[in-house]
Amino acid sequence: MEKATFAAGCFWGVEATFRRLAGVTATRVGYTGGHMNNPTYKDVCTDSTGHAEGVEVTFDPAEISYDKLLDVFWENHDPTQLNRQGPDWGTQYRSAIFFHSPEQEAAAKASKERLEKSHRFSKPIVTQIVPAETFYEAEDYHQQYLEKRGLATCHI
Is 10 among the catalytic positions? yes
Task: Give the chain's domain count.
Answer: 1
Residue 153 inside a domain? The answer is no
Residue 59 inside a domain? The answer is yes
The SS3 assignment for 25 reads strand
pLDDT band at residue 151 using 50, 70 and 90 as cut-offs? low
Taking only the tens place, the pLDDT of each residue in 61-94 is 999 999 999 999 999 999 999 999 988 999 999 9
> Where in the sequence is the domain holding 80, given as residue range(s)?
2-148
Residue 154 inside a domain? The answer is no
Output the DSSP codes for 45-78: TTT-S--EEEEEEEE-TTTS-HHHHHHHHHHTS-
Residue 11 inside a domain? The answer is yes
CATH number at residue 64: 3.30.1060.10
Q: Which residue is catalytic, options 4, 7, 8, 10? A: 10
pLDDT at 35 over 70: yes
